[in-house]
Amino acid sequence: MLSRDVARAVNQRRDALGRYLAYGIVRYRLRSVSNLRTVTCPCCGYMTLSDQGYDTCGICRWFDDGLDDGSADEMSCTANDGLTLSQGRELFRSRLTIVNEHSSEYLDEQELLPAKYDIVSRFDRLVSGVAPRLFFDSFSAIQQDLKVLSSRRTKLIRARIAKLKN
Ligand SMILES: [Zn+2]
């Protein structure tokens, strides 16, 4: 797939998910919950980032350092293994993470793969379009599962470090 097409697919997701935020009923219900991640990731396109910025995506592991479409071919200097956003998007498309396949972190991501597929497919249902009044419940359930995913990841990392120490 051409990188232009990969970028288009990511932006279709971002647009479709972002569109829900324009609905009053969605905004109203979002207001009642704090710490929801309603910012879309520039790498995978799903709503996984907090609006505080400098956040790492719970699905693809892209660190949001401000690179976006206009700078998609610049090397990320802060994190992301020196990848460009275009390279990150391509990696996400082929294996659902930007994590280097030779790193031990990659094994964790492999273990989390079924849970990630589940989250991605539920996000994709929202991308295909649901009634705005149905958005919030699915979205907040996905957010809950993103939290579970994140704590499972932390446990895997801790277990790996503990093993290294022994
Ligand atoms: Zn992402």
Alpha carbon of 53 to ligand 1 centroid (Å): 13
Per-chain residues with Cβ under 5 A from ion ligand 1: 41, 43-44, 57, 59-60, 62
Q: Quick check: 65 and 76 in contact, CB under 8 A?
A: yes
What pTM does this model have?
A: 0.92
Alpha carbon of 60 to ligand 1 centroid (Å): 4
**pLDDT, tens only, 73-108:** 888 777 898 899 999 999 999 999 999 999 989 999
Task: Count up the domains in the chain and report the number.
Answer: 1
Instruction: Count Cβ atoms below 10 Å from residue 39 Cβ, excluding itself.
Output: 20
Residue range(s) defining the domain that contains residue 131: 3-165
Task: Give percent of the chain above pLDDT 70.
Answer: 99
Alpha carbon of 44 to ligand 1 centroid (Å): 4
Q: How confident is the model at residue 66 (pLDDT cuts 50, 70, 90)?
A: confident
**pLDDT for residue 159 is more than 80:** yes
Residues near 106 by beta carbon (within 8 Å), at least 6 away in sequence: 97, 99, 100
Which amino acid does the sequence have at 26?
Answer: V
Q: Check residue 34 and give its pLDDT.
A: 77
Cα–Cα dist 138/127, whole Å: 12
Alpha carbon of 160 to ligand 1 centroid (Å): 24
